[in-house]
Structure 1
Amino acid sequence: MSYVNPTELAHQMISAGAAKVQLSTRDTLIRAFMAGAILALAAAFAVTISTRTGQPLVGAILFPIGFCLLVLLGFDLLTGVFTLAPLAWLDRRPGITVRAVLRNWGLVFLGNFAGALTVALMMAVYFTYGFTQAPDAVGEAIGQIGTSRTVGYADHGAAGMLTLFLRGVMCNWMVSTGVIGAMISKSVPGKILCMWLPVLVFFYMGFEHSIVNMFLFPSGLLLGGEFTVVDYLLWNEIPTVLGNLVGGLTFVGLPIFLTHARTQRARTVVPDAVVTEAKPTAPDRVPAVAGAEG
């Protein structure tokens, strides 16, 4: 069957997390670089469509193309390893330590950032003809995204920071659902469908994805966005990374792990005792004595 049941899915998630943690430094960096670059291209594609058509839903519908490609090619996003790597540690897989998990996260972060930044530089050149003219409408839109999603949060103070964090949480709830969606089916069309739907939700809702932002904000700075590197780090990237970690692990990884990989012992149902109560016996009637008078 092409469908993978939840118990088998849970064990696949644990094994995938262990494999990612044990991957060599070179392979981890290459896979993360390519994942960041492909997702950045997908983000540029989606913003281009949304700007030129005036229909954000169309951009959101087509954005998952990049996500599906990078997952099918075996590349790694920070949002995915946030969810999968800790499960291998919780399952006590040999060689999986907290230090090894943190090392994996650090390498994937660096690789994703390098890939997204490379595409940001390329797209900045693309939008400005090598910085010889002002950016076109799409370039301006990217700059405005960077401003509204940094300074825009800062304008609301603590409430803005809470909103930013929760958008990061909800983002990786959806994105990590897409990551494990690729494991739910054994057919390529099934994998794509299971990945496509939750990623569409995240992008259209404007949730905060740390790797997409690694493209949007550096390119926004290059294209004239009115915010600073400190604004980007403090009022977007750092809270988004923390929100992505909490969202993926809390709402995707742990629930499946706890209820399908580490299930509690099945409850033994004891049927209620059937209590049979003896019906009270009616007292014997005393036969009347013939001829007796009252």
Structure 2
Amino acid sequence: MSYLVPAEFVTKMVDAGESKIFMATRDVLIRAFMAGAILALAAVFAVTISVQTGYPIVGAILFPVGFCMLYLLGFDLLTGVFVLTPLALIDRRPGVTIGGVLKNWGLVFLGNFCGALTVAVLMAITFTYGFSIEPGEVGQKIANIGESRTVGYKQYGAAGMLTVFIGGVLCNWMVSLGVVGAMISTTVSGKVIAMWMPIMLFFAMGFEHSVVNMFLFPSGLIMGGGFSITDYLIWNELPVVLGNLIGGLSLTGLTLYTTHIRTAPKRPNYAAKAL
């Protein structure tokens, strides 16, 4: 059958987390770099479609193409390893340590950021003909996104910080379901359908994804957005990373692991015992 039952795909989640922790540093960085770059291109694609059509929902519907590409190719996002690697630690897999989990997170963060930043520079060159003209409508839209999602939160103080954090929690609740969706089916079409739905939802709702933001905000800064690097780090990237971690691990990873691997004792079958 092409569908795996929950106990099977949750076991695959733990196995995947274990394999990522023991992966060679070179391979972690390459896979993370490519994941960040592909997701960044998908973000450009979605913004472009939104601007061209005037309907942001169309961009949201099409954005998951990048996510599906990178996961089918075996590349890694920070939002995904936040969910998978801790499960190997919780499951007490041999040789898995907190240090190994944290090292994996750090390497994936670095790789994702470098990939997203590379695309930000390349697209800025494309939008401005090598910085010889002002960016067009799409470039201006990206700059405006960066401004609204940094100083836009900053003006509300603690309430703004809470809002961006919750946006990160909700985002990786959905994105991590996309990661799990890739493990539910053994066919490419089944994987794509299962991944597409939650990814489309997060993008349409405007939730905060740390890796997408690694492209949007540096790109916005390059193209003249009205915010600073400090604004980006304090009022978006850092709280979003924390929100992504808590949302994905608590609302997806731990819930699935707890109820499908470490299940509660089942009700005794008294009728069978009586026979």
TM-score range, shorter chain: over 0.9
Deviations 1:5-35 (A, max 9, x none): 0000110000000011110000000000000
CA distance in 2, matches of 1:129, 1:212: 24
1:153 counterpart = 2:157: no
Q: Structure 1 vs Structure 2: percent identity of aligned residues?
A: 65
2:198 counterpart residue number: 198
Q: Report the Cα offset of residue 265 of structure 1.
A: 2.3
Q: Report the Cα offset of residue 269 of structure 1.
A: 5.2
1:59 counterpart residue number: 59
Please tell me the residue identity of whatever aligns with 1:207.
F
CA distance in 2, matches of 1:147, 1:173: 25
CA distance in 2, matches of 1:269, 1:231: 60
Please tell me the residue identity of whatever aligns with 1:178.
G
2:49 counterpart residue number: 49
Please tell me the residue identity of whatever aligns with 1:160.
G
CA distance in 1, matches of 2:258, 2:208: 27
Please tell me the residue identity of whatever aligns with 2:164.
L
2:7 counterpart residue number: 7
Gap regions ≥5 residues in structure 1: 272-294
Please tell me the residue identity of whatever aligns with 1:258.
T
Number of matched pairs: 271
Q: Report the Cα offset of residue 263 of structure 1.
A: 1.0
1:87 counterpart = 2:87: yes
Q: After the TM superposition, which parts of structure 1 deviate over 2 Å for at least 4 consecutive aligned residues? A: none
Q: Report the Cα offset of residue 270 of structure 1.
A: 4.7
Q: Report the Cα offset of residue 37 of structure 1.
A: 0.2
1:130 counterpart residue number: 130
Larger Rg: 1
1:17 counterpart = 2:20: no
Please tell me the residue identity of whatever aligns with 2:88.
A
Q: After the TM superposition, which residues 143-292 of structure 1 pair with which residues of structure 2 at under 5 Å, given as runs?
A: 143-268=143-268, 270=270
Deviations 1:141-185 (A, max 9, x none): 000000000000001111111110000000000000000100001
Please tell me the residue identity of whatever aligns with 1:39.
L
SS at match of 2:9: helix
SS at match of 2:131: coil
Please tell me the residue identity of whatever aligns with 1:138.
V
CA distance in 2, matches of 1:45, 1:183: 26
1:280 counterpart residue number: none
Deviations 1:8-66 (A, max 9, x none): 01100000000111100000000000000000000001001101111101100110000
Please tell me the residue identity of whatever aligns with 2:6.
P
SS at match of 1:262: coil
Please tell me the residue identity of whatever aligns with 2:84.
L
TM-score (norm 1): 0.91
Instruction: Identify the structure with the greater helix proportion.
Output: 2
TM-score (norm 2): 0.97
CA distance in 1, matches of 2:29, 2:207: 26
Deviations 1:252-280 (A, max 9, x none): 00001001011122232557xxxxxxxxx
Q: RMSD of the alignment, in Å?
A: 0.8
Gap regions ≥5 residues in structure 2: none
CA distance in 2, matches of 1:36, 1:170: 20
